Protein backbone atom coordinates (compact mmCIF):
# COMPACT_ATOMS: atom_id res chain seq x y z
CA UNK A 1 0.00 0.00 0.00
CA UNK A 2 1.37 3.38 -0.94
CA UNK A 3 1.75 6.28 1.49
CA UNK A 4 -0.68 8.45 -0.44
CA UNK A 5 -3.27 5.69 -0.13
CA UNK A 6 -2.62 5.47 3.61
CA UNK A 7 -3.16 9.22 3.91
CA UNK A 8 -6.40 9.10 1.90
CA UNK A 9 -7.65 6.21 3.95
CA UNK A 10 -6.72 7.97 7.22
CA UNK A 11 -8.45 11.14 6.08
CA UNK A 12 -11.58 9.15 5.20
CA UNK A 13 -11.85 7.44 8.56
CA UNK A 14 -11.10 10.65 10.49
CA UNK A 15 -13.84 12.37 8.53
CA UNK A 16 -16.21 9.53 9.28
CA UNK A 17 -16.00 10.39 12.99
CA UNK A 18 -15.75 14.15 12.96
CA UNK A 19 -16.72 14.92 16.54
CA UNK A 20 -14.52 12.21 17.94
CA UNK A 21 -11.59 13.34 15.81
CA UNK A 22 -12.13 16.95 16.91
CA UNK A 23 -12.21 16.05 20.60
CA UNK A 24 -9.13 13.87 20.33
CA UNK A 25 -7.33 16.64 18.48
CA UNK A 26 -8.37 19.10 21.18
CA UNK A 27 -6.23 17.28 23.73
CA UNK A 28 -3.17 17.78 21.57
CA UNK A 29 -4.13 21.37 20.71
CA UNK A 30 -4.33 22.32 24.36
CA UNK A 31 -1.06 20.59 25.18
CA UNK A 32 0.89 22.15 22.32
CA UNK A 33 -0.62 25.62 22.82
CA UNK A 34 0.22 25.49 26.52
CA UNK A 35 3.82 24.46 25.82
CA UNK A 36 4.27 27.24 23.27
CA UNK A 37 2.67 29.84 25.52
CA UNK A 38 4.65 28.84 28.61
CA UNK A 39 7.98 28.76 26.82
CA UNK A 40 7.16 32.18 25.34
CA UNK A 41 6.21 33.63 28.72
CA UNK A 42 9.40 32.21 30.22
CA UNK A 43 11.52 33.74 27.50
CA UNK A 44 9.68 37.04 27.95
CA UNK A 45 10.42 37.05 31.66
CA UNK A 46 14.05 36.37 30.93
CA UNK A 47 14.16 39.14 28.36
CA UNK A 48 12.69 41.65 30.78
CA UNK A 49 15.27 40.84 33.40
CA UNK A 50 18.07 40.91 30.86
CA UNK A 51 16.89 44.33 29.74
CA UNK A 52 16.82 45.52 33.32
CA UNK A 53 20.33 44.22 33.94
CA UNK A 54 21.49 45.83 30.73
CA UNK A 55 20.01 49.19 31.77
CA UNK A 56 21.68 48.84 35.11
CA UNK A 57 25.04 47.77 33.80
CA UNK A 58 26.61 44.44 34.67
CA UNK A 59 27.69 43.69 38.24
CA UNK A 60 26.55 47.03 39.57
CA UNK A 61 25.90 47.81 43.26
CA UNK A 62 24.78 51.04 44.83
CA UNK A 63 25.70 52.57 48.16
CA UNK A 64 23.14 55.04 49.37
CA UNK A 65 22.94 57.30 52.36
CA UNK A 66 21.23 55.99 55.45
CA UNK A 67 18.34 56.91 57.66
CA UNK A 68 18.25 59.79 60.09
CA UNK A 69 16.75 58.90 63.43
CA UNK A 70 15.67 61.89 65.47
CA UNK A 71 13.74 61.26 68.68
CA UNK A 72 12.67 57.82 67.48
CA UNK A 73 11.37 59.18 64.16
CA UNK A 74 13.08 57.45 61.29
CA UNK A 75 13.45 59.62 58.24
CA UNK A 76 13.71 57.17 55.34
CA UNK A 77 16.58 56.60 52.94
CA UNK A 78 19.03 59.40 52.19
CA UNK A 79 18.05 61.48 55.21
CA UNK A 80 21.33 61.03 57.06
CA UNK A 81 23.93 62.06 54.54
CA UNK A 82 27.32 60.67 55.38
CA UNK A 83 28.81 59.25 52.15
CA UNK A 84 31.73 61.22 50.73
CA UNK A 85 33.94 61.23 47.68
CA UNK A 86 36.69 60.00 49.99
CA UNK A 87 34.56 56.94 50.81
CA UNK A 88 34.42 56.18 47.09
CA UNK A 89 38.18 56.51 46.75
CA UNK A 90 38.69 54.30 49.80
CA UNK A 91 36.39 51.61 48.38
CA UNK A 92 38.36 51.34 45.14
CA UNK A 93 41.61 50.86 47.03
CA UNK A 94 40.24 48.92 49.99
CA UNK A 95 37.68 46.53 48.50
CA UNK A 96 39.45 44.08 46.17
CA UNK A 97 36.19 42.89 44.52
CA UNK A 98 35.33 46.40 43.37
CA UNK A 99 36.59 47.67 40.04
CA UNK A 100 34.91 51.07 39.95
CA UNK A 101 33.46 53.30 42.68
CA UNK A 102 31.78 56.37 41.22
CA UNK A 103 30.37 59.04 43.58
CA UNK A 104 27.30 60.83 42.21
CA UNK A 105 25.01 63.78 42.83
CA UNK A 106 21.59 63.95 41.28
CA UNK A 107 19.18 66.72 40.61
CA UNK A 108 15.99 67.12 38.64
CA UNK A 109 15.03 70.30 36.92
CA UNK A 110 14.15 72.26 33.84
CA UNK A 111 16.83 72.55 31.16
CA UNK A 112 16.63 75.13 28.41
CA UNK A 113 18.02 75.39 24.90
CA UNK A 114 17.04 78.43 22.86
CA UNK A 115 13.31 78.74 23.28
CA UNK A 116 12.53 75.15 24.21
CA UNK A 117 12.83 73.52 27.59
CA UNK A 118 12.50 70.09 29.13
CA UNK A 119 12.24 68.57 32.59
CA UNK A 120 14.91 65.98 33.16
CA UNK A 121 17.36 64.39 35.56
CA UNK A 122 20.87 65.81 35.90
CA UNK A 123 23.66 63.63 37.19
CA UNK A 124 26.87 65.01 38.66
CA UNK A 125 29.33 62.27 37.84
CA UNK A 126 32.72 61.42 36.38
CA UNK A 127 33.70 59.25 33.46
CA UNK A 128 34.00 56.37 35.94
CA UNK A 129 30.24 56.48 36.43
CA UNK A 130 29.59 56.24 32.69
CA UNK A 131 31.85 53.21 32.60
CA UNK A 132 30.21 51.57 35.59
CA UNK A 133 26.74 51.97 34.12
CA UNK A 134 28.03 51.07 30.66
CA UNK A 135 26.97 54.22 28.91
CA UNK A 136 28.48 54.32 25.42
CA UNK A 137 29.56 57.68 24.04
CA UNK A 138 27.86 58.44 20.72
CA UNK A 139 29.00 61.67 19.15
CA UNK A 140 31.58 63.88 20.87
CA UNK A 141 33.60 62.72 23.85
CA UNK A 142 33.47 61.94 27.55
CA UNK A 143 34.72 64.17 30.40
CA UNK A 144 38.47 64.63 30.74
CA UNK A 145 40.15 64.65 34.21
CA UNK A 146 40.68 68.38 33.98
CA UNK A 147 36.99 69.08 33.52
CA UNK A 148 36.17 66.68 36.35
CA UNK A 149 38.56 68.52 38.69
CA UNK A 150 37.86 72.12 37.62
CA UNK A 151 34.03 72.27 37.76
CA UNK A 152 34.00 73.00 34.02
CA UNK A 153 30.52 73.75 32.69
CA UNK A 154 30.33 70.91 30.18
CA UNK A 155 27.58 68.35 29.70
CA UNK A 156 26.92 65.00 28.04
CA UNK A 157 23.30 64.45 27.03
CA UNK A 158 21.15 61.39 26.39
CA UNK A 159 19.19 60.63 23.22
CA UNK A 160 15.86 61.85 24.61
CA UNK A 161 17.39 65.30 25.27
CA UNK A 162 18.60 65.38 21.66
CA UNK A 163 15.07 64.55 20.50
CA UNK A 164 13.35 67.04 22.78
CA UNK A 165 15.69 70.03 22.61
CA UNK A 166 17.56 69.64 19.33
CA UNK A 167 14.99 67.82 17.18
CA UNK A 168 17.40 64.97 16.66
CA UNK A 169 20.30 67.11 15.41
CA UNK A 170 23.76 66.45 16.81
CA UNK A 171 23.97 68.91 19.79
CA UNK A 172 27.73 68.72 20.36
CA UNK A 173 29.03 72.28 20.69
CA UNK A 174 25.60 73.67 21.58
CA UNK A 175 24.78 75.15 24.96
CA UNK A 176 22.03 74.16 27.39
CA UNK A 177 21.05 76.03 30.51
CA UNK A 178 20.68 74.11 33.70
CA UNK A 179 19.27 76.23 36.51
CA UNK A 180 20.08 79.19 34.23
CA UNK A 181 23.75 78.27 34.13
CA UNK A 182 25.04 77.57 30.61
CA UNK A 183 26.71 74.20 30.02
CA UNK A 184 28.47 73.39 26.76
CA UNK A 185 27.58 70.00 25.31
CA UNK A 186 30.73 67.97 24.64
CA UNK A 187 29.20 64.59 23.97
CA UNK A 188 26.11 62.40 23.67
CA UNK A 189 25.35 58.91 24.94
CA UNK A 190 24.03 56.10 22.80
CA UNK A 191 20.48 54.97 23.40
CA UNK A 192 19.83 52.44 26.14
CA UNK A 193 16.20 52.46 25.25
CA UNK A 194 13.16 52.17 27.39
CA UNK A 195 13.02 49.53 30.04
CA UNK A 196 10.11 47.09 29.90
CA UNK A 197 8.64 49.01 32.81
CA UNK A 198 8.48 52.11 30.63
CA UNK A 199 11.29 54.05 32.28
CA UNK A 200 13.28 56.05 29.75
CA UNK A 201 16.98 55.52 30.40
CA UNK A 202 17.96 58.14 27.82
CA UNK A 203 16.15 61.06 29.44
CA UNK A 204 19.32 62.22 31.21
CA UNK A 205 22.04 64.93 31.37
CA UNK A 206 25.50 64.30 32.81
CA UNK A 207 27.73 67.09 34.15
CA UNK A 208 30.99 66.75 36.09
CA UNK A 209 30.46 66.02 39.79
CA UNK A 210 32.54 69.06 40.74
CA UNK A 211 30.44 71.31 38.49
CA UNK A 212 27.17 70.01 39.97
CA UNK A 213 28.53 70.58 43.46
CA UNK A 214 29.73 74.12 42.93
CA UNK A 215 27.25 75.46 40.37
CA UNK A 216 23.91 73.75 40.97
CA UNK A 217 21.51 73.94 43.91
CA UNK A 218 22.12 70.28 44.75
CA UNK A 219 25.60 71.26 45.97
CA UNK A 220 24.02 73.17 48.83
CA UNK A 221 22.54 70.02 50.23
CA UNK A 222 25.63 67.87 49.86
CA UNK A 223 28.23 70.10 51.50
CA UNK A 224 31.99 69.51 51.52
CA UNK A 225 32.55 66.29 49.65
CA UNK A 226 29.27 64.60 50.60
CA UNK A 227 27.50 62.71 47.80
CA UNK A 228 24.06 61.29 47.15
CA UNK A 229 25.27 57.81 46.38
CA UNK A 230 28.18 55.77 45.13
CA UNK A 231 27.81 53.48 42.15
CA UNK A 232 30.02 50.40 42.35
CA UNK A 233 31.02 47.90 39.74
CA UNK A 234 32.34 44.55 40.89
CA UNK A 235 34.84 42.54 38.90
CA UNK A 236 32.35 39.76 38.26
CA UNK A 237 28.85 38.58 39.10
CA UNK A 238 30.23 35.93 41.46
CA UNK A 239 31.88 38.65 43.52
CA UNK A 240 28.72 40.69 44.09
CA UNK A 241 28.06 39.21 47.50
CA UNK A 242 31.68 39.46 48.60
CA UNK A 243 31.79 43.02 47.35
CA UNK A 244 28.72 43.87 49.39
CA UNK A 245 30.40 42.51 52.51
CA UNK A 246 33.71 44.24 51.81
CA UNK A 247 32.04 47.59 51.22
CA UNK A 248 29.88 47.27 54.32
CA UNK A 249 32.89 46.43 56.51
CA UNK A 250 34.96 49.20 55.03
CA UNK A 251 32.31 51.89 55.37
CA UNK A 252 31.40 50.90 58.94
CA UNK A 253 35.06 51.24 59.82
CA UNK A 254 35.40 54.57 58.03
CA UNK A 255 32.20 55.93 59.58
CA UNK A 256 33.29 54.62 63.00
CA UNK A 257 30.10 52.66 63.63
CA UNK A 258 30.31 50.62 66.80
CA UNK A 259 29.57 46.88 66.58
CA UNK A 260 25.86 46.30 66.98
CA UNK A 261 24.92 49.81 65.85
CA UNK A 262 23.03 50.07 62.56
CA UNK A 263 24.71 51.07 59.29
CA UNK A 264 24.36 54.70 58.28
CA UNK A 265 24.21 53.66 54.62
CA UNK A 266 22.57 51.03 52.42
CA UNK A 267 24.39 48.76 50.04
CA UNK A 268 21.91 47.70 47.38
CA UNK A 269 22.78 44.67 45.37
CA UNK A 270 20.20 45.09 42.58
CA UNK A 271 22.15 43.06 40.05
CA UNK A 272 22.16 40.03 42.30
CA UNK A 273 18.53 40.52 43.07
CA UNK A 274 17.72 40.66 39.37
CA UNK A 275 19.83 37.60 38.65
CA UNK A 276 18.00 35.72 41.35
CA UNK A 277 14.67 36.87 40.04
CA UNK A 278 15.61 35.96 36.48
CA UNK A 279 16.54 32.53 37.68
CA UNK A 280 13.34 31.98 39.62
CA UNK A 281 11.15 33.30 36.80
CA UNK A 282 12.94 31.05 34.34
CA UNK A 283 12.52 28.08 36.65
CA UNK A 284 8.85 28.89 37.09
CA UNK A 285 8.27 29.21 33.35
CA UNK A 286 10.01 25.94 32.59
CA UNK A 287 8.08 24.27 35.35
CA UNK A 288 4.88 25.51 33.72
CA UNK A 289 6.17 24.33 30.34
CA UNK A 290 6.82 20.92 31.86
CA UNK A 291 3.27 20.84 33.22
CA UNK A 292 2.10 21.83 29.74
CA UNK A 293 4.23 18.99 28.37
CA UNK A 294 2.41 16.62 30.69
CA UNK A 295 -0.90 17.87 29.32
CA UNK A 296 0.43 17.08 25.86
CA UNK A 297 1.18 13.60 27.13
CA UNK A 298 -2.37 13.35 28.46
CA UNK A 299 -3.53 14.39 24.99
CA UNK A 300 -1.46 11.51 23.64
CA UNK A 301 -3.13 9.10 26.02
CA UNK A 302 -6.44 10.44 24.68
CA UNK A 303 -5.31 9.50 21.19
CA UNK A 304 -4.35 6.04 22.34
CA UNK A 305 -7.67 5.58 24.08
CA UNK A 306 -9.66 6.59 21.01
CA UNK A 307 -7.47 4.52 18.71
CA UNK A 308 -8.08 1.46 20.89
CA UNK A 309 -11.82 2.05 20.71
CA UNK A 310 -11.52 2.58 16.99
CA UNK A 311 -9.60 -0.66 16.49
CA UNK A 312 -12.22 -2.57 18.45
CA UNK A 313 -15.05 -0.97 16.49
CA UNK A 314 -13.36 -1.60 13.20
CA UNK A 315 -12.33 -5.18 13.81
CA UNK A 316 -14.47 -6.40 10.92
CA UNK A 317 -13.02 -3.73 8.66
CA UNK A 318 -9.53 -4.90 9.58
CA UNK A 319 -10.54 -8.50 8.87
CA UNK A 320 -11.98 -7.53 5.50
CA UNK A 321 -8.88 -5.55 4.57
CA UNK A 322 -6.75 -8.55 5.49
CA UNK A 323 -8.99 -10.86 3.47
CA UNK A 324 -8.49 -8.78 0.35
CA UNK A 325 -4.73 -8.71 0.78
CA UNK A 326 -3.64 -6.17 3.42
CA UNK A 327 -0.41 -7.23 5.05
CA UNK A 328 0.21 -6.57 8.75
CA UNK A 329 2.41 -3.61 7.94
CA UNK A 330 -0.41 -2.08 5.85
CA UNK A 331 -2.80 -2.22 8.80
CA UNK A 332 -0.12 -0.92 11.15
CA UNK A 333 0.70 2.01 8.87
CA UNK A 334 -2.97 2.81 8.40
CA UNK A 335 -3.69 3.19 12.10
CA UNK A 336 -0.40 4.92 12.93
CA UNK A 337 -1.11 7.35 10.08
CA UNK A 338 -4.50 8.12 11.61
CA UNK A 339 -2.97 8.78 15.03
CA UNK A 340 -0.19 10.83 13.47
CA UNK A 341 -2.65 12.88 11.44
CA UNK A 342 -4.64 13.69 14.58
CA UNK A 343 -1.54 14.72 16.51
CA UNK A 344 -0.06 16.76 13.67
CA UNK A 345 -3.29 18.61 12.99
CA UNK A 346 -3.52 19.23 16.73
CA UNK A 347 0.11 20.35 16.69
CA UNK A 348 -0.41 22.88 13.91
CA UNK A 349 -3.54 24.35 15.49
CA UNK A 350 -1.89 24.29 18.91
CA UNK A 351 1.17 26.18 17.67
CA UNK A 352 -1.06 28.78 16.03
CA UNK A 353 -3.15 29.09 19.18
CA UNK A 354 -0.10 29.29 21.44
CA UNK A 355 1.51 32.00 19.32
CA UNK A 356 -1.80 33.85 19.16
CA UNK A 357 -2.03 33.68 22.94
CA UNK A 358 1.49 35.05 23.25
CA UNK A 359 0.74 37.89 20.86
CA UNK A 360 -2.38 38.70 22.87
CA UNK A 361 -0.40 38.69 26.12
CA UNK A 362 2.17 40.95 24.55
CA UNK A 363 -0.50 43.27 23.22
CA UNK A 364 -2.70 43.66 26.29
CA UNK A 365 -0.48 42.40 29.06
CA UNK A 366 2.57 44.66 28.65
CA UNK A 367 4.83 41.70 28.23
CA UNK A 368 7.69 41.36 25.72
CA UNK A 369 6.72 39.20 22.73
CA UNK A 370 9.25 36.47 22.27
CA UNK A 371 8.44 34.02 19.50
CA UNK A 372 10.81 31.14 19.37
CA UNK A 373 10.60 29.22 16.09
CA UNK A 374 12.57 26.47 17.76
CA UNK A 375 9.91 25.91 20.39
CA UNK A 376 7.28 25.70 17.62
CA UNK A 377 9.38 23.10 15.80
CA UNK A 378 10.01 21.19 19.00
CA UNK A 379 6.33 21.27 19.93
CA UNK A 380 5.38 19.97 16.46
CA UNK A 381 8.03 17.27 16.63
CA UNK A 382 6.94 16.33 20.10
CA UNK A 383 3.30 16.05 19.10
CA UNK A 384 4.30 13.90 16.10
CA UNK A 385 6.22 11.66 18.49
CA UNK A 386 3.23 11.54 20.81
CA UNK A 387 1.04 10.48 17.86
CA UNK A 388 3.40 7.74 16.77
CA UNK A 389 4.12 6.58 20.30
CA UNK A 390 0.52 6.39 21.45
CA UNK A 391 -0.80 5.33 18.04
CA UNK A 392 1.65 2.47 17.72
CA UNK A 393 0.22 0.17 20.34
CA UNK A 394 -3.39 0.22 19.05
CA UNK A 395 -2.11 -0.04 15.47
CA UNK A 396 0.06 -2.98 16.39
CA UNK A 397 -2.88 -4.59 18.08
CA UNK A 398 -4.96 -4.14 14.93
CA UNK A 399 -2.22 -5.52 12.69
CA UNK A 400 -1.96 -8.67 14.83
CA UNK A 401 -5.66 -9.48 14.53
CA UNK A 402 -6.42 -12.88 13.14
CA UNK A 403 -8.43 -12.32 9.94
CA UNK A 404 -10.92 -15.09 10.69
CA UNK A 405 -11.55 -13.87 14.23
CA UNK A 406 -11.89 -10.33 12.89
CA UNK A 407 -14.33 -11.41 10.18
CA UNK A 408 -16.50 -13.45 12.54
CA UNK A 409 -16.87 -10.46 14.89
CA UNK A 410 -20.35 -9.01 14.75
Partner 1 sequence: MKTPIIQARGLSRDYTVGAQTVNALIDFSIDIRHGEFVAIMGPSGSGKSTCMHLLGCLDTPTAGKYQLDGEDVSTLDADALAGLRQRRIGFVFQSFNLLAGASAIANVELPLVYGGVPRVGRLAQAAAALDSVGLTDRAHYLPTQLSGGQMQRVAIARAIVNRPALVLADEPTGALDTQTGQEIMALLAELNRSGITIVLITHEAEIATYAQRVLFFRDGRLIEDRNASGDLLVRPPSGEDKL
Q: Which stretch binds partner 1 (CB under 8 A): 123-131, 181-189, 321-329, 371-379?
A: 321-329
Q: Measured from the CB atom, is 5 or 217 closer to partner 1? A: 5
Least spacing, CB of residue 324 vs partner 1, in Å: 4
Least spacing, CB of residue 301 vs partner 1, in Å: 26
What is the spatial distance between Cα 110 and Cα 102, in angstroms, rounded to a whole number? 25
Site string (323-342) toward partner 1, x via CB under 8 A: xxxxxxxx------------
Q: Are 1 and 330 in contact (CB under 8 A)?
A: yes
Least spacing, CB of residue 407 vs partner 1, in Å: 7
Query: What phi and psi values does residue 151 have, to the nearest 5 degrees?
Result: 55, 35
Query: What phi and psi values does residue 110 have, to the nearest 5 degrees?
Result: -85, 130
Least spacing, CB of residue 307 vs partner 1, in Å: 17
What is the spatial distance between Cα 318 and Cα 9, in angstroms, rounded to a whole number? 13
Exposed/middle/buried for residue 295 (C-beta within 10 Å: 0-12, 13-18, 19+): middle
Residue 407 makes contact with partner 1 by CB under 8 A: yes
Among 10, 13, 39, 333, binds partner 1 (CB under 8 A): 13
Q: Which of 298, 223, 270, 263 is nearest to 52 (CA)?
A: 270
Q: Are 94 and 248 in contact (CB under 8 A)?
A: no
Q: Measured from the CB atom, is 100 or 333 closer to partner 1? A: 333
Residue 22 makes contact with partner 1 by CB under 8 A: no
- H helices present in 59-104, as ranges: 85-94
Among 28, 178, 311, 322, binds partner 1 (CB under 8 A): 322
> For partner 1, how many residues bind (rule: CB under 8 A)?
25
Q: Which of 307, 330, 304, 309 is nearest to 389 (CA)?
A: 304
Q: Are 328 and 399 in contact (CB under 8 A)?
A: yes
Q: Which of 408, 393, 407, 405 is nearest to 335 (CA)?
A: 393
Binders in 259-318 for partner 1, by CB under 8 A: 316-317
Q: Measured from the CB atom, is 81 or 322 closer to partner 1? A: 322
Residue 2 makes contact with partner 1 by CB under 8 A: yes
Q: Which stretch binds partner 1 (CB under 8 A): 226-234, 247-255, 366-374, 401-409?
A: 401-409
Task: Please report, as ranges, the residues that interact with partner 1 according to CB under 8 A.
Answer: 1-2, 5, 12-13, 15-16, 316-317, 319-330, 402-404, 407
Amino acid sequence: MKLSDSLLSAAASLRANKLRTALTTLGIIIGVAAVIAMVGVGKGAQLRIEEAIQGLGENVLFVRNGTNVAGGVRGGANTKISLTEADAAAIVTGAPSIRIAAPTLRATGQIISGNTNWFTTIYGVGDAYLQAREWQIGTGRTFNPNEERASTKVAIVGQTIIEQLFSGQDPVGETIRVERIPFRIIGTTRAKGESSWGRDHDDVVFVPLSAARSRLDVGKRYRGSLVRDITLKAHSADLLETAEQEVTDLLRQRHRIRPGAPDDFYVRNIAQYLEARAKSERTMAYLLAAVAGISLLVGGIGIMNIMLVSVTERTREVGLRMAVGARRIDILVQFVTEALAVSLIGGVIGVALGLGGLAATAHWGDWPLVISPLSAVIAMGFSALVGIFFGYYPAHKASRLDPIVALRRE
